[in-house]
């Protein structure tokens, strides 16, 4: 998939301001539940040719989802995890509906994986290990013949994927990376391949290849090739330079005009399989449709389309893999498109907070803006808010809400603060106004004794001026790095903290003014850890060490923690003095039973390796720790730990989260599945 940043707009069928509310995906009781916010980037989509209710959808982060009810609900498949890889292509075997193939490309080389049990288990295809795969297709007239476009040329299998052979010339560097493949509907020996430098064709099953570029703009990246199933001489190709059509199997191309140049980068081109002649073009700026062979086009959506698939039994039903918006479905030829994301999620939530009775989450990397999501039912469902112009081009990384007023939120990008007083509907840039206290007054020396003289008759006694108390000054400052935002409640009032490169900032008026917290020996503060909503006990992770406050941040002292602060990933502050302080580090879990004076390694069933997150939660103050995606718990003050099993595959938990001190629900922010929770 080619990544292009663009402003996100909500599909008209869904509404202008919020997405349709959807319920948490169903998993066994007591297990983690994926709650969303549903949606995100979908990269590939395929419909089972023998059962149109079965739909597969691929995403970034090696995510693959399956729907058994025509995209009404989605389930996450246990697909092999590859770091920074995306599912680029999906093929459901036309002769065996339980046989799936999925291609990946990514930092680790990608590969081709297959399942023979409808997605329950997967294995790497031996002949294609660590080979990036961008495209997959089956020959319409010979269903046992599969063709793959890879970073090692065109690969073909004639035994339904058991074995693969490279059929393009290894010495032809222009065919080293293949981005699109298509097979003639009547002759399986006629194969087309799109590359980053124009298209190619073979008429003899790959023995010889010919460049077919006459009529195309030079250096066009070809993303998609489509062959008319009834008239195979008619071929369409979509590229970075636009859309092309050929009436002679690609020997001569003509460019289809009508789509604005700003929308010409076309990821996928398809023709209506129902025979109406309509052409669909999925571009970086939306879905276009033409009723007259490409002369005139209409815009159907304004969201980037990455892939497209039709229901084989109902040609007017089509599915779209959308950038940032997940899966779109239309049942009337694209005229109306609705989002069908119940269970489909590919989101990296940047931060989450409680605001009054609601939960708020942000996704900082959603195109050229930030996605803001709100839940009014403890995370069961989420709606996305329409962003104001203040967030255009802004990637927020942290957010904190008022405990007393759900309308007030303070958020931060890397170096700028923002504020909303209408629950995220509109935002304003929040200048960082720092209150600088006056310097301490030096004591005046005692005045020498003077001889008392009587005041002359009629004269006024001298008036001595009262000492003037110096006032604090306010200075607007610039931050180079905001690492986190936090809220605690002190005497029923909200107190906001910001961990920054200048130190720990504190505000008692929802961010309008800030004071620099006096932490001796500390400069940059990278995180703040709280024990409860009242925040009596706070720990700051600074560049020079860990610092503790036992009075809501008024006074601080350095802790004698044995590891450098860069090794600290998280800290759990106990809700009662009977439980130990717990610190998740790069080399294991540490505990202190005396408030941070002495430390020891806590094992008791928890391997001595990197612990990513740690938290106390629930009425019984159960301790939880995350290690390589596995969740462990302790009910005996961290003396022993036991792993909690889950049915969700390949979890990558980044942070454990408890929005409120009395929350009976444990939340986690993941690297790709949004927010999950367990009761």
Domain ranges for the chain, please list them.
Answer: 1-33+347-423, 34-345
pLDDT at residue 592, as a whole number: 94
Burial class (CB in 10 A: 0-12, 13-18, 19+), 407: middle
pLDDT at residue 444, as a whole number: 55
% of the chain at pLDDT higher than 70: 91
Reading the block at residue 114, the tokens are 């297959």
Burial class (CB in 10 A: 0-12, 13-18, 19+), 455: exposed
Q: Which of 148-152, 372-376, 463-467 has the lowest mean pLDDT?
A: 463-467
Q: pLDDT tier at 26 (50, 70, 90 boundaries)?
A: very low
Phi, psi of 383 (to 5 degrees): -125, 145
β-strands 39-40, 345-346 pairing: parallel
Burial class (CB in 10 A: 0-12, 13-18, 19+), 567: middle
For residues 258-267, average pLDDT:
84
Q: Which of 115-124, 426-435, 587-596, 658-667 has the lowest mean pLDDT?
A: 658-667
pLDDT digits (tens, 9 = 90+) for 48-65: 999 999 999 999 999 999
Q: Tokens 């004269």 — which residue?
A: 459
pLDDT digits (tens, 9 = 90+) for 290-312: 998 888 999 999 999 999 999 99
Cis peptide before 262 (omega within 30 of 0): no
Q: pLDDT tier at 442 (50, 70, 90 boundaries)?
A: low
For residues 121-131, average pLDDT:
94
Phi, psi of 263 (to 5 degrees): -115, 15
State the pTM of this model: 0.88
CA 673 vs CA 77, 396, 457, 514: distances in Å = 12, 19, 91, 35
pLDDT digits (tens, 9 = 90+) for 315-333: 899 999 999 999 999 999 9
Cα separation of 126 and 298, whole Å?
45
Q: Render 594-662 in DSSP notation, one character per residue.
A: SSSSS-EEE-TTS-SS---EEEEETTTTEEEEEETTEEEEESSTTS--EEEP-SSSS--EEEEE-SSTT
Q: Render 234-273 in DSSP notation, one character per residue.
A: -EEEEETTEEEEESSTTSS-EEE--S-GGG--EEEEEE-T
pLDDT at residue 7, as a whole number: 29
pLDDT at residue 173, as a whole number: 92
% of the chain at pLDDT higher than 90: 72
Residues 514-531 as b/e (b if ≥16 CB within 10 A, e otherwise) read bebbebeebebbbbbbbb
Fold classification of 34-345 is Methylamine Dehydrogenase; Chain H (2.130.10)
Q: Render 349-407 in DSSP notation, one character per residue.
A: --EEEEETTEEEEEEEEETTEEEEEEESSTTS--EEEPPPGGGTT----EEEE-SS-TT
Give Cβ neighbours of residue 574 (< 8 Å, ≥ 6 apart).
531, 580, 581, 582, 616, 621
pLDDT digits (tens, 9 = 90+) for 474-531: 999 999 999 999 999 998 899 999 999 999 999 999 999 999 999 987 789 999 998 7
Q: Tokens 């013949």 — which residue?
A: 145
- What length does the chain have? 679
Contact 13, 27 (CB under 8 A): no
């Amino acid at each position: 998939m080619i990544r292009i940043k663009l402003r996100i707009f909500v599909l008209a069928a869904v509404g202008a301001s919020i997405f349709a509310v959807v319920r948490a995906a169903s998993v066994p009781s007591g297990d983690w539940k994926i709650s969303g916010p549903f949606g995100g980037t979908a990269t590939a989509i395929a419909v089972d040719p023998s059962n149109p209710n079965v739909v597969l959808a691929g995403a970034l982060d090696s995510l693959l989802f399956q729907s058994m009810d025509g995209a009404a609900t989605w389930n996450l498949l246990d697909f092999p995890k590859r770091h920074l890889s995306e599912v680029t292509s999906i093929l459901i075997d036309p002769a065996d509906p339980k046989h799936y193939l999925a291609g990946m490309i990514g930092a680790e080389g990608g590969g081709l994986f297959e399942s023979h049990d409808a997605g329950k288990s997967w294995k790497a295809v031996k002949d294609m290990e660590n080979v990036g795969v961008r495209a997959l297709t089956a020959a319409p007239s010979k269903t046992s013949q599969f063709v793959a476009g890879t970073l090692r040329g065109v690969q073909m299998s004639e035994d339904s994927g058991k074995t693969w052979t490279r059929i393009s010339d290894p010495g032809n560097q222009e065919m080293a990376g293949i981005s699109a493949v298509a097979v003639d509907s009547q002759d399986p020996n006629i194969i087309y391949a799109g590359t980053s430098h124009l298209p190619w064709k073979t008429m003899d099953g790959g023995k010889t290849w010919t460049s077919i570029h006459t009529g195309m703009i030079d250096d066009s990246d070809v993303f998609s090739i489509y062959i008319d199933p009834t008239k195979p001489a008619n071929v369409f190709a979509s590229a970075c330079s636009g859309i092309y059509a050929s009436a002679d199997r690609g020997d001569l191309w003509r460019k289809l005009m009508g789509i604005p140049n700003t929308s010409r980068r076309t990821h996928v081109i398809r023709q209506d399989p129902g025979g109406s002649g309509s052409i669909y073009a999925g571009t970086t700026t939306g879905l276009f449709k033409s009723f007259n062979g490409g002369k005139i086009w209409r815009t159907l959506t304004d969201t980037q389309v990455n892939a497209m698939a039709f229901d084989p039994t109902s040609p007017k039903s089509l599915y779209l893999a959308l950038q940032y918006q997940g899966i779109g479905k239309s049942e009337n030829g694209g005229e109306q498109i609705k989002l069908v994301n119940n269970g489909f999620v590919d989101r990296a939530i940047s931060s989450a907070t409680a605001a009054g009775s609601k939960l708020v989450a942000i996704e900082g990397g959603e195109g050229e803006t930030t996605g803001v999501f709100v839940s009014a039912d403890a995370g069961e469902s989420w709606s996305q808010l329409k962003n104001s112009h203040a967030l255009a081009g802004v990637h927020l990384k942290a957010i904190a809400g008022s405990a007393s007023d759900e309308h007030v939120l303070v958020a931060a990008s890397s170096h700028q603060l923002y504020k909303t007083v209408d629950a995220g509907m509109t935002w304003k840039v929040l200048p960082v106004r720092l209150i600088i206290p006056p310097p301490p007054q030096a004591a005046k020396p005692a005045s020498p004794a003077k001889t008392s003289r009587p005041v002359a008759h009629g004269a006024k006694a001298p008036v001595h001026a009262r000492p003037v108390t110096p006032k604090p000054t306010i200075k607007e400052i610039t931050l180079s790095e905001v690492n986190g935002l936090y809220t605690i409640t002190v005497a029923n009032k909200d107190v906001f903290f910001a961990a920054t490169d200048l130190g720990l900032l504190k505000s008692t008026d929802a961010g309008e003014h800030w004071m620099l917290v006096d932490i001796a020996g500390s400069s940059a503060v990278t995180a703040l850890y709280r024990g409860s909503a009242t925040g009596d006990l706070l720990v700051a992770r600074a560049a020079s060490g860990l610092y503790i406050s036992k009075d809501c941040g008024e006074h601080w002292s350095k802790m004698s923690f044995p590891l450098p602060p860069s090794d600290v990933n998280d800290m759990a502050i106990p809700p009662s003095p009977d439980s130990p302080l717990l610190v998740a580090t790069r080399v294991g879990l540490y505990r202190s039973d005396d408030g941070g004076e002495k430390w020891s390694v806590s094992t008791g069933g928890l391997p001595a390796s990197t612990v990513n997150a740690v938290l106390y939660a629930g009425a019984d103050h159960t301790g939880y720790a995350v290690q390589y995606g596995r969740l462990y718990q302790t009910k005996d003050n961290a003396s022993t730990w036991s792993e909690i099993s889950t049915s969700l595959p390949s979890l990558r938990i980044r942070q454990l989260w408890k929005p409120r001190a009395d929350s009976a629900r444990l939340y986690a922010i993941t690297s790709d599945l949004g927010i999950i929770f367990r009761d």
